Amino acid sequence: MEKQDLRERVWDELEESGEARFPYPPHGRIPNFDGADEAAERLAANETWREADVIKSNPDSPQLPVRRAALRAGKTIYMAVPRLRDENCFLRLDPDEIEDIDHATTIGGSSEVGVQVGPEEMESIDLIVSGSVAVNSEGARVGKGEGYSDLEFAILREFGLVDDETATVTTLHETQFVDEEIPTTPHDIPIEWVFTPERSVRTDAPASKPEGIEWDVLTEERMNEIPILRRLKP
């Protein structure tokens, strides 16, 4: 199945079943879903989570409970600046510096209280939480189609902040955990753990992860939009 066809099917099923949650509609985004809190609780009970001190998370609504759980557990969170538009292209949320965790973990709140940093100022990442539209049992992931999640990983790898040992997880609705084969490319991040409201699943994801930025697949437009790419380009 083509990725866009799979996205549309998942978005439609979440909307038609009544399982989608604000923001509406689920289409065109990492969809929020009924049970996001329970999926986050399953992640927080996992040993991979307990061993992680530093987390990179996506900013989307379904992973809001994950971000709150991380700060409450004393974990540092890094989030990408929208579209990586600044040279200091990540936000650091340090639990020791945050008074209102509920506010700090929203999209607006994180931009207010988070500290913008470049990769040179960041700690190594222990665990990556990716927002997903769909994932299968092989750990192949479909995002919303813009490619930023994979690019963020590639940039972090260029700076030695992630490697093959960095854990990769997602929380999603059962509808989003699919049986279909998902086409992958060398720059796609495999997902090792899937957490739904009902279960925790270790996927058959490959052990290796993308090695870094694949310059030949980047458009000139994207290069011009993202300052750190222009600096890193060999």
Q: Give kind and range of the element (H or E) at residue 7.
A: helix 3-17
DSSP 66-124: HHHHHHHTT-EEEEEPGGG-SSS-EEEE-GGG-S-HHHHTSHHHHHHHSEEE-GGGPPP
Fold of 3-51+119-232: Rossmann fold (3.40.50)
The pLDDT value given to residue 128: 98
Residue 234, pLDDT score: 80
What pLDDT shows up at residue 1?
Answer: 72
pLDDT by residue, tens only, the chain of 234 residues:
799 999 999 999 999 999 999 999 999 999 999 999 999 999 999 999 999 999 999 999 999 999 999 999 999 999 999 999 999 999 999 999 999 999 999 999 999 999 999 999 999 999 999 999 999 999 999 999 888 999 999 999 999 999 999 999 999 999 999 999 999 999 999 999 999 999 999 999 999 999 999 999 899 999 999 999 999 988
In sequence order, what are the residues at sequence separation of 6 or more whose Cβ sits closer than 8 angstroms to the Cβ of residue 47? none
pLDDT of residue 143: 97
Q: What letter does residue 53 receive in the DSSP assignment?
A: S
Q: Report how far residue 164's alpha carbon sits from residue 162's, in angstroms, rounded to the nearest whole number.
A: 7
Instruction: Please say whether the beta carbons of 141 and 134 come within 8 A.
Output: yes
Return the sign of the alpha-carbon dihedral for residues 129, 166, 44, 118.
Answer: negative
